[in-house]
């Protein structure tokens, strides 16, 4: 009797909105000092998100000549760091997706108050190794969007995209033809928060 090698992965979409100071509230930060992780998204001096999230650093002064080092874990729960160059009286945005944040430190002397948060992009992992995406069942939300299936990480190259519709009563059931889409370095998903409710992805 033939046995299917297709595996199903269930993902609940993150619904936490963009929050510019959700990690660390605006405050003065000393030279080469750590930001205090005590925002609305933090607990006990760290952050654990429902999905991978991109970190933003909001500077009141000109911090374009310094950087901020973010430490935590990625969507695979592996250790991850990122250096984000500061902005001049504005927001600097990272590119890596963090599942947890254990610390953020200035590398240099910030010119004014600094806060840290997340933008509205979220990411997750379906399978961390080589695999073929065979199909996707998605339950929509009240907001339409695009779900990108990416190689290597949520920030990687999109090899397949799926549009969602603005209706919480509608679902989408997509079967990929032939042998599916090959993801050589892992199957990941990237989306804007709250643009679907949940998803079941099938891979082999």
The predicted-structure confidence for 56-98, as pLDDT tens digits, reads as follows 999 999 999 999 999 999 999 999 999 999 999 999 999 999 9
pLDDT category, 19, cuts 50, 70, 90?
A: very high
Kindly report the backbone phi and psi dihedral angles of residue 37, in degrees, each rounded to the nearest multiple of 5, phi listed first.
-85, 90
Q: How many domains does the chain have?
A: 2
What average pLDDT does the segment 42-49 reach? 98
Q: Does any domain span residue 198?
A: yes
* Residue 131 CB contacts under 8 Å (≥ 6 apart), including other chains: 182, 183, 186, 187, 203, 204
Judge whether 99 and 154 are in contact, CB under 8 Å.
Answer: no
Query: How confident is the model over 127-137, as a mean pLDDT?
Result: 98
Report the pLDDT averaged over residues 172-192: 96
Name the domain boundary from 101, 120, 139.
Answer: 120
* Residues 26 and 95 occupy one common structural domain: yes
Query: Helix and strand tally (H, E) in the chain?
Result: 0, 15
User: Do residue 115 and residue 33 come from a single domain?
Assistant: yes
Q: What percent of the chain has pLDDT over 90?
A: 96
What pLDDT band is residue 1 in, cutting at 50, 70 and 90? low
pLDDT at 103: 98
d(CA 21, CA 5): 44
Question: Does one domain contain both 93 and 169?
Answer: no
Q: Which domain holds residue 107?
A: 19-120
- Note the pLDDT of residue 3: 59
Compute the average pLDDT of residues 15-43.
98
My answer on whether 149 and 172 are in the same domain is yes
């Amino acid at each position: 009797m033939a046995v299917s090698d297709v595996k199903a992965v269930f993902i609940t979409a993150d619904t936490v909105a963009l929050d510019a100071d959700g990690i660390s509230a605006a405050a003065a930060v000393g030279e080469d000092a750590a930001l205090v992780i005590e925002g609305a998204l933090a607990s006990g001096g760290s952050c654990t998100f429902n999905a991978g999230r991109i970190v933003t650093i909001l500077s009141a002064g000109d911090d374009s000549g310094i950087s901020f080092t973010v430490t935590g874990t990625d969507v695979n729960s592996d250790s991850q760091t990122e250096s984000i160059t500061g902005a001049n009286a504005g927001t600097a945005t990272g590119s890596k997706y963090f599942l947890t944040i254990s610390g953020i430190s200035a590398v240099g002397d910030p010119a004014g108050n600094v806060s840290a948060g997340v933008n509205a992009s979220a990411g997750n992992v379906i399978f961390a190794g080589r695999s073929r995406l065979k199909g996707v069942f998605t339950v929509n939300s009240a907001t339409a969007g695009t779900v990108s299936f990416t190689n290597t990480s949520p920030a990687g190259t999109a090899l397949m995209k799926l549009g969602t519709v603005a209706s919480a009563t509608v679902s989408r059931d997509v079967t990929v033809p032939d042998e599916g889409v090959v993801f050589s370095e892992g199957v990941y998903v990237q989306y804007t928060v709250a643009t679907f409710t949940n998803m079941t992805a099938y891979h082999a």
